[in-house]
Amino acid sequence: MVNGQAELHFLCGKIAAGKSTLSKALAAEHRAVVLSEDEWLPLLYPDELLTIPDYVRYSNRLKKVVGPLVRDLLAAGMSVVLDFPANTVEQRHWMKQLADSTDAPHTLHHLDVPDEVCRARLKARNAEGAHPFEVTDEQFEKITSHFVPPSAREGFRMVVHTA
């Protein structure tokens, strides 16, 4: 918390950059609750997440519920780590609107991790089988092609984390 005020944390990084790992560390450091898209989507839509357009559709549905929840948690004095990808300008715009609708300070955590490190982590994660989504090399390439690094112009307080 900043001066005892609840904080909002966002995460930006490619697949397997370490967003969920960082979200848990931030939650412990800031006594925050983590809201994780990767945990909720497969529970809510177990047989429907088959394609990237499916993901976009269901992620947008989830955001309609999560946005008011985040505002309520912050208003109640609870810091929040929003473990949803902030990987495109559009995704970050939603998060910026969410942050601006509260009085809570916010930080965008950008995990700047090279593709080869992400691919190695992804292969290990897929082999372990503990993550709710298994991502192929082809899917990694397709999803990563949409990644847009954040810029200062977007108006976030930003912390960059490197591998």
3-state secondary structure of 22: helix
Q: What is the CATH number of the domain that holds 96?
A: 3.40.50.300
State the burial class of residue 63 (Cβ atoms within 10 Å of its Cβ: 0-12, 13-18, 19+). Answer: middle
Domain count, the chain: 1
Residue 43: what pLDDT?
Answer: 92
Domain of residue 42: give its range: 8-162
Q: What is the mean pLDDT of residues 12-40?
A: 94
Is 100 inside any structural domain?
A: yes
Is 89 inside any structural domain?
A: yes
Task: Give the model's confidence band at 3: pLDDT under 50 very low, under 70 low, under 90 confident, else very high.
Answer: low
Is 17 inside any structural domain?
A: yes
Q: Could you give the residue ranges of the DSSP H alpha helices within the chain?
A: 19-30, 37-44, 52-75, 89-100, 115-128, 137-144
Per cent of the chain over pLDDT 90 is 71
Look at 21-35, 66-80, 92-106, 127-141 and tell me which has the smallest mean pLDDT. 127-141
3-state secondary structure of 160: strand
Is 3 inside any structural domain?
A: no
Is 2 inside any structural domain?
A: no
Is 54 inside any structural domain?
A: yes
Between 24 and 136, name the one with better pLDDT. Answer: 24
